[in-house]
Amino acid sequence: MPVNNPIYLTDQALLKAIALMRHNASALEKLCATMENDKQNDKNLTPQDYAILRTISLYPKLRTGEIARKMGLSKQSLSRYLKPLVDHGFIIEEQDPKDRRAKRLWLSTKGFEYYTVQQDKALKAFYHAYQKAGISAVEGFHQVQQALSQALE
């Protein structure tokens, strides 16, 4: 326990908080990965697919190896996930002009549109949860997230 912490939390309370965060992160990934049954999309995306689209949207035109590092995956694992996303038109890959062995990745129009729709789902979920919790709970949540982010760096 931190010495300057004015509150006392049991290990059980902290473990419950960690479990809730993991559950909510997983549920959010699943929410964002679910696709409505519309005929323009011919692939059911998984939470891992969504995570790849999110990472590529945040870091467009990075090399495959750089994306793999940011996601904590091997290049081989990322390549297995990328192939269907490229084949179904969600991601564009282009040979790096400076290194013919490397490929750069970015979202296609289809990938960007899908990602945007899924992000809107996440924003609505957060909006409703924030509305229900109230401003003081939201501010407290943000403070905890910032402190946790700093502690984990």
Residue 131 maps to a domain = yes
Mean model confidence pLDDT for the chain: 84
Residue 6 maps to a domain = no
User: Mind listing the pLDDT tens digit for each residue in 122-149?
Assistant: 889 889 888 999 999 889 888 888 888 8
Residue 2 maps to a domain = no
Q: Range of 32's domain? A: 11-152
Of 67, 51, 48, the C-alpha closest to 105 is 67
pLDDT classification of 1: cutoffs 50, 70, 90: very low
Residue 76 maps to a domain = yes
Contact 30, 44 (CB under 8 A): no
Contact 119, 32 (CB under 8 A): yes
Predicted pLDDT of residue 37: 37
Predicted pLDDT of residue 38: 41
Cα distance between residue 122 and residue 77, in whole Å: 26
Number of folded domains in the chain? 1
pLDDT classification of 15: cutoffs 50, 70, 90: confident
User: Mind listing the pLDDT tens digit for each residue in 35-71?
Assistant: 543 434 556 788 888 889 999 999 999 999 999 999 9
